[in-house]
Amino acid sequence: MKLATIGVGNAGSKLIDRMIEFEVETGRNLCRHALVINTARTDLAKPKNIPEDRRVLIGDTHHKARGHGVGGDAEIGAEVAKTDIDEIRRVFDDVEIHEVDAVLVAAGLGGGTGSGAAPVVIEEIQKMYDEPVYGLGVLPGKYEGGRPALNAARSLQSFVTKVDNFIAFDNDAWRSRGQTIEQGYEEMNKELATRIVTLLAAGEVDESEVGENAMDSSDIMRTLEVGGVSSIGYASTELAPAKQGLLSKFNESDEPESESTDAAKIKGLVRRAVNSRLTVPCDISSADRALIVFAGPPEVISRKGVESAREWLENAADTVDVLAGDDPRPDSSTLAAVVLLSNVTETPRIDEIQSQAVDAQNKIREQDAVREEEIQSLITDDDDDLDPIV
């Protein structure tokens, strides 16, 4: 697939940056256009792989933002995106839309810029183009608190109703203990970039190498077209040390036992992908459609294995709409299986965020209701004998 990508806010920009890094490292070519949008000037300097003229500062004339961010306020994030929509459109005008299959908008849903501005950007792109728009959203962890949960719950609604599919990533499922602030979300971003790029870059191989089993962009888009929220699973195996073993077996491919061992391995890889940490934990059987991409040297991808893996997933996901295909990468030293579970409807983490958001909203309303009164009561004495100087 060929994508135009837009990162909104800090997390979104970082993700797009990471995706480009990963595709360059692995010789893929997914992101044909990349654009990042932010409200904080300092954050806009961070993405290393986005040219300077593809970084858009919004809200620098807004009296609350001024190029210093929106302080986690999604309302202001949306407001400044609306105000500066011409600026965004101008930069996006350069995109040769007929050269891409779809637009991907990435954002962190806990912060103010991503959660507020991204839906506005999506709306605008949908006005301009007919191509599908996919969302890639990072859900805040429980410990990020009530305000991020509220931003996320509200933004999720906007995202899911607008985009053609929303791929969710749950920070909580991916938190690891030993990280420092500097490492930040680096590791998670890397994991997510690996999954997204491996999945969506399939179908972009040299025509000559395309086998009959190659995954096609239209297969991926067909799986995504049902809308809703999607989750991605991933597993890979190093071939470098094991390759010899595998290849040597292929070399003696007449031996039927070896073929079945390889098939078992392929199926095992897919099971591992689905049972690994999904980008958002979900009940697999609630998936509407599913798709498996095998990325690796074509000679190690056993047909039999692919078919049995597909059948296994059909059962596990309880849907007949399961596609499986290859992304042949002859020089790769790894074999990866990436599983897209499209339109999963049982995602406990989203329910949790929603209930945390409802509590947060109630608390915020309570505070708003008494704020002025409490300040007044603090600054005046009981009988109101003291008066101001000016």
Partner 1 sequence: MKLAFVGVGDAGTRIVDRLVRAERASGRSVSDGNVLVFNTDDAAFEAATAVPDERRVLLGDTHPAVRRRPDPAEAGGADGAETADGAGGADETEALASEIDPFGVGGDPDTGAAVAEAELPEIRRALDRIDETEVAGTMLVTGLGGGTGTGVGSVLLEELNSIYETPVYVLGALPAATEPDRRALTAARGIRTVVPLADAVFPVDNEAWRRGDPVAERYDAINDAIAARVLALFGAGERDPESVSELRVDPADVTRTLEVGGVASIGHATHELTPDDAGVVTRLLRLLGIADAPESDGAEADAATVKRLVRRALESTLTLPCSVDSADRVLVILSGPPDAVSRKGFETGRYLLEEETETVEVLAGDEPVPGATEVTATVVLSNVTDVPRIDEIQRRAVAALDASDAGDDGTTVLGDAADADTRPGAPDPADGPGDDAAGDSHASEDGQTGNPTDGAAGAEPDGASSESTTETDGSASEDGDRSVHGFDFTAGDDRGK
Q: Name the site residues for partner 1 (rule: CB under 8 A).
A: 10-11, 14, 39-40, 42-43, 45-46, 63-66, 68-73, 141-147, 149-150, 175-185, 359-360, 363-364, 367, 371, 374-375, 377-390
Which residue, chain included where needed, has tokens 């997390």?
11
Q: Which is nearer to partner 1, 179 or 248 (CB)?
A: 179
First to last CA, the chain: 67
Query: Measured from the CB of residue 386, what is the shortest distance to partner 1 in angstroms?
Result: 5
Dmax over CA atoms of the chain, in Å, equals: 100
Residue 58 DSSP SS3: coil
Smallest distance, partner 1 to C-beta of residue 259, A: 36
Rg (CA), the chain: 24
Which residue, 116 or 305, is less far from partner 1 as judged by CB? Answer: 116
Nearer to partner 1, 184 or 330 (CB): 184
Q: Which is nearer to partner 1, 77 or 297 (CB)?
A: 77
Minimum Å gap between C-beta 247 and partner 1 is 29
Nearer to partner 1, 119 or 141 (CB): 141
> Which DSSP letter does residue 388 get?
-
Least Å distance between CB 129 and partner 1? 31
Least Cβ distance, residue 91 to partner 1 (angstroms): 22
Rounded to a whole number of angstroms, the minimum distance from the CB of residue 260 to partner 1 is 35
A 10 A CB-CB count for 358 gives: 14
Nearer residue to partner 1 within complex by CB, 315 or 362: 362
Of the pair 10, 302, the CB lying nearest partner 1 is at 10
Type of residue at 279: T
Residues 219/323, Cβ–Cβ less than 8 Å? yes
CA distance 102 to 121: 15
| CA 261 – CA 6 distance, rounded (Å) | 43
- How near is the Cβ of 58 to partner 1 at its closest, in Å? 13
Residue 54's closest CA among 68, 34, 69? Answer: 34
- Write out the two tokens for 390: 């000016």
d(CA 36, CA 47): 8
